[in-house]
Amino acid sequence: MSKTQEKDVIVRIADVDKSFDGERVVKKLNLDVERGEFLTMLGPSGCGKTTTLRMIAGFEVPTSGQIFLEGEDVDDKKPNERNVNTVFQNYALFPHMNVFDNIAFGLVEKKVKKDEIRRRVEEMIRLVQLDGMEKRMPSQMSGGQKQRVAIARALVNRPKVLLLDEPLGALDLKLRKQMQGELKALQRQLGITFIYVTHDQEEALTMSDRIAVMNRGRLEQVGTPEEVYNYPETKFVADFIGESNIIEGYVEHMTEDSIEVTMESGKAVIPETGYRMEEMVYLCIRPENLKISTEQKEGFRFRGQVREHIFIGSTNKTMIEMPNGQMLKSVTPAEDELVPVGTTVNVYWNPGKAVVMRTKEEQIYNVIEQSVEIEGMRNDQIF
Amino acid sequence: MEKRRKVREFKPGSVFYACLVYLFLYLPIFVVIAFSFNTSEMNITFEGFTVEWYGRMFENRQLMQSFVNTIIVAVASTALSVIIGTLCALGLYKFEFKLKSMISSSLYIPIVIPELVFAIALLIFFSSIHVSMSMVTLVIAHVTFSMPFVVITVRARLAGFDKSIEEAARDLGANELRTFFRVTLPMISPGVISGGMLALTMSLDDVVVSFFTAGPESQTLPLKILGMVRKGVSPDVNALSTLMILGTIVILLTATLIQGKLEKKM
Ligand SMILES: Nc1ncnc2c1ncn2[C@@H]1O[C@H](COP(=O)(O)OP(=O)(O)OP(=O)(O)O)[C@@H](O)[C@H]1O
Ligand SMILES: [Mg+2]
């Protein structure tokens, strides 16, 4: 309770489950969103992002679990009774109303006085830079302009929370980058909590205060962009966000302050503790942290053959084939000297740059998931 | 990058053909209009110009009564068809239920089966439940055959309807009723209007169904004219018909204009 107060949670998703026709698409979701933060829900297509957002907005009812808005259980609240607004992916503007009336819609419903509506709508139109377009119909506008109307239409109501479902998905790359900046600036300026859905990891990394990574209806990790990028907690997160070299191995030796991991293609010493002998682990090393050298490096016996160099503007990407066939990626600045293709090299990284993830935990995770599902099925049969 | 617009020239042959088609379509109507100004009582030769019949028709009590009946039945059945048909289309669009496809295709049966069969069926139905024929049975009968047309036009409009637009209205604080009147109805209104127009015209000139379901006090204009055929149609009927043609044109133009405006806006 005291924790709630000091963190000022505005949206709490507690143990929420959602099934469609017996298929679980959101599984035991727990998430606290703090007032004023920009939280992004990131995950591959079909992982349940939209469904989660729709439950917060009130368009879907959780199969079990609760959703709290400002500490209040909103289970019995209809969408029009919730102080949240949504920016839909396809804009969903009212085609029979002009820009002004579209933006004024929510205020008219709240029976705000005419002159105040005018003032607030005009202020909003200035804020999203649509001056002079008040009388335009949605059919006469470009995608970017429609998007601004959709954002203005939601923001003019001064919602506690703004839900955005891939709002920039339909825009071209350049416009998307520009709108990303504008959205972020708007959010800072107004101090409104944003829950932003995307499957674009770059968008998530650049805009968010925190990222909630979802996979197959489950939260994999919640953290700042730096945390999820540098310290992924699961293999999925490491794989999904940015590029990663993920290598499987097990703990063969341990000392007081390090473990030695044996992989199919070699061995490496990692300055980590708290693992058991023989425990299966994944090592995750970002390509910019993976280095190659013709000299033997201390703590590593991990050799492969340079297969290819790919020039990508300011950097070079080197592909190294390991004895077991796995391809590792190493990214170096373009001006660095390249090791000729075909050379056998030692692969290494700076101590601390490899993230170790337990596989055992994931296995337990899966077992729990299965048993919960079986239990869920049983309950379905009983009721 | 010059793009030349292809403007096809009219060939004399096709102009002639088009004229023939229009003549075929509209000549009978012009004949009626012309004979409404005829001094002779016979609709055979044109003898002289007069507007006498336009005054006389108002004295023909039976004719006037049947005209009023026609209008009442048309307006009432159109209003009912529009309301029931629109609600029906919305229900079929929004809800999933068992036998939905069967129910939706059964709506088209009144359109496909021969009108005569349909009319006799209505007659048998009304007499078997001991309801005597009157304006009420007439209106009910007209609703049964014109309502499916409203369902069709409204459903066609709903087919391209994005559900999230209604959700956006809910999201912005409108309850179900407000959402319907501020968003759903304006968006489907072109379909509602054209369905209503269809219903209105079908009711105005219906003979077959009306013949079986109208009572002695609820004769409509088409029935009245049909009854006159044996004795010869009097010129005041021509005058009334001319006025009705004018009225229809005015209604049609207004409806087309309104519809054009609504659709252009979206
Ligand atoms: N109304 C529904 N009825 C049945 N299944 C549904 C319904 N809505 C969503 N689903 C299913 O739930 C799963 C999650 O859908 P959801 O739309 O939440 O995914 P998403 O993460 O938003 O994906 P995307 O990035 O493609 O938008 C999908 O498998 C989808 O098929
Ligand atoms: Mg989605």
Q: Are residues B23 and B97 in the same domain?
A: no
Three-state SS sequence of chain B: CCCCCCCCCCCHHHHHHHHHHHHHHHHHHHHHHHHCCECCCCCCCCCCECCHHHHHHHHCHHHHHHHHHHHHHHHHHHHHHHHHHHHHHHHHHHCCCCCHHHHHHHCCHHHHCCHHHHHHHHHHHHHHCCCCCCHHHHHHHHHHHHHHHHHHHHHHHHHCCCHHHHHHHHHCCCCHHHHHHHHHHHHHHHHHHHHHHHHHHHHHCCCHHHHHHCCHHHCCHHHHHHHHCCCCCCHHHHHHHHHHHHHHHHHHHHHHHHHHHHHHHC
More reliable by pLDDT, A369 or A205: A205
Which residues from A are below 8 Å from B178, CB to CB?
109
Same domain, B173 and B133: yes
Q: List residues in chain B touching A: CB distance below 8 A.
A: 162, 164-165, 167-175, 178, 182-183, 186-187, 262, 265-266
Of A94, A109, A139, the CB nearest to B173: A109
pLDDT band at A94 (very low <50, low <70, confident <90, very high): very high
Tell if the CB–CB gap between B171 and A85 is shorter than 8 Å. Answer: yes
Shared-domain flag, residues B81 and B25: no
Say if CB A383 and CB A63 are below 8 A apart: no
CA A17 to centroid of ligand 2, rounded, Å = 17
Least confident of A64-73, A159-168, B99-108: B99-108
Ligand 2 centre distance from Cα of residue A49 (Å): 6
Name the pLDDT band for A69 (thresholds 50, 70, 90): very high
Q: For chain A, what is the mean pLDDT?
A: 88
Question: pLDDT over 70 for what percent of chain B?
Answer: 95
Nearest-CA residue for atom 9 of ligand 1:
A51
Q: pLDDT band for position B252 (50/70/90)?
A: confident
pLDDT at B236: 82
Report pLDDT for A218: 92
Q: Is the CB of A332 under 6 A from ligand 1?
A: no
Domain count, chain B: 2
The answer to whether residue B27 is domain-embedded is yes
A51 CB under 6 A from ligand 1? Answer: yes
Q: Is residue B4 part of a domain?
A: no
The finding on whether A50 has its CB within 6 A of some atom of ligand 1 is yes
| Ligand 1: residue whose CA is nearest its atom 28 | A46
Residue A162 has pLDDT above 90, yes or no: yes
Determine whether the interchain pair B266/A96 forms a contact, defined as Cβ–Cβ distance below 8 Å. yes
Note the pLDDT tens digit of each residue in A278-329. 888 889 999 999 999 998 888 899 999 999 999 988 899 999 999 999 999 9
pLDDT, greater one: B8 or A84: A84
Which residues does chain B have within 8 Å of residue A158's beta carbon, measured at their own beta carbons?
Answer: none
Please work out whether the CB of residue A45 comes within 6 Å of at least one atom of ligand 1: yes
Shared domain for B41 and B166, answered yes or no, is: no
A197 alpha carbon – ligand 2 mean position (Å): 8
Could you read off the pLDDT of A11-42 as tens digits, one per residue? 999 999 999 998 999 999 999 999 999 999 99
Q: Tokens standing for B68?
A: 């009023």
In the predicted model, is pLDDT for residue A379 greater than 60?
no
In a domain, B1, yes or no: no
Residue pLDDT, tens place only, A220-233 = 999 999 999 988 88
Q: Tell me, what's the pLDDT at B5? A: 57
Q: Are residues B88 and B214 in the same domain?
A: yes
Residue A158 pLDDT > 80, yes or no?
A: yes
The answer to whether residues B43 and B128 belong to one domain is no
Q: Which atom of ligand 1 is nearest to the CA of A47?
A: 21
Same domain assignment for residues B20 and B145: no
Flag if A78 and B266 touch (Cβ within 8 Å).
Answer: no
Q: Does the beta-carbon distance from A78 to B175 stay under 8 Å?
A: yes
Work out the average pLDDT over B159-177.
Answer: 92
Beta-carbon contacts of residue B23 (< 8 Å; ≥ 6 apart): none
Q: Is the pLDDT of residue B174 over 90?
A: yes
Q: Is residue B218, in this structure, part of any structural domain at all?
A: yes
The verdict on B137 and B69 lying in the same domain is yes
Whether B151 maps to a domain, the answer reads yes
**pLDDT for res B266:** 67
pLDDT: which is higher, A267 or B230: A267
Confidence label for A369 from pLDDT (cuts 50, 70 and 90) = low
CB-CB under 8 Å, B187 with A80: no
Q: Are residues B251 and B125 in the same domain?
A: yes
Beta bridge partners of A4: none
B22 in the same domain as B143: no
Domains of chain A: 9-236 (3.40.50.300), 243-355 (2.40.50.140)
**Residue A333 DSSP SS3:** strand
The per-residue pLDDT for B1 is 41
Q: Are B99 and B146 within one domain?
A: yes
Which range of A179-183, A327-331, B28-32, B243-247 scores highest in mean pLDDT? It is: A327-331
B53 falls in which pLDDT band (50, 70, 90)? Answer: confident
Instruction: Tell me whether residues B186 and A139 touch, CB distance under 8 A.
Output: no
Alpha-carbon distance of B75 to A126, in angstroms, equals: 49
Q: Tell whether ligand 1 has an atom less than 6 A from the beta carbon of residue A365.
A: no
A378 pLDDT above the threshold of 80: no
Which chain A residues have a beta carbon less than 8 Å from that of B174? 80, 105, 109
Domain of B164, in residue numbers: 62-265
Cβ-based contacts of B182 with chain A (< 8 Å):
105
Ligand 1 contact, A20 CB (< 6 A): yes
Across chain B, mean pLDDT equals: 87
Residue located nearest, by CA, to atom 5 of ligand 1: A20
Least confident of A50-54, A251-255, A379-383, B18-22: A379-383
Based on the fold, state whether residues B89 and B220 are members of the same structural domain: yes
For the ranges A123-132, A250-259, A359-368, which has the lowest average pLDDT? A359-368
From the list A319, A283, A314, the residue with the least C-alpha distance to A304 is A319
pLDDT given for residue B2 in this prediction: 46
Asked whether the beta carbons of B151 and B83 are under 8 A apart, the reply is no
A44 touches A237 (CB < 8 A): no
3-state DSSP helix/strand/coil % of chain A, to nearest 5:
30, 35, 35
Q: Do A94 and B168 touch (CB under 8 A)?
A: yes
Q: Is residue B6 part of a domain?
A: no
Question: Which residues have a beta carbon within 5 Å of ligand 2, which is an ion?
Answer: A 50
Is B199 part of any domain? yes
Q: What is the pLDDT of residue A383?
A: 39
Residue B29 lies in a domain: yes
Residue-level pLDDT at A364: 52
Interval B2-10 mean pLDDT: 59
* pLDDT of amino acid B29: 87
Taking only the tens place, the pLDDT of each residue in B111-136 is 888 999 999 999 999 999 988 888 89
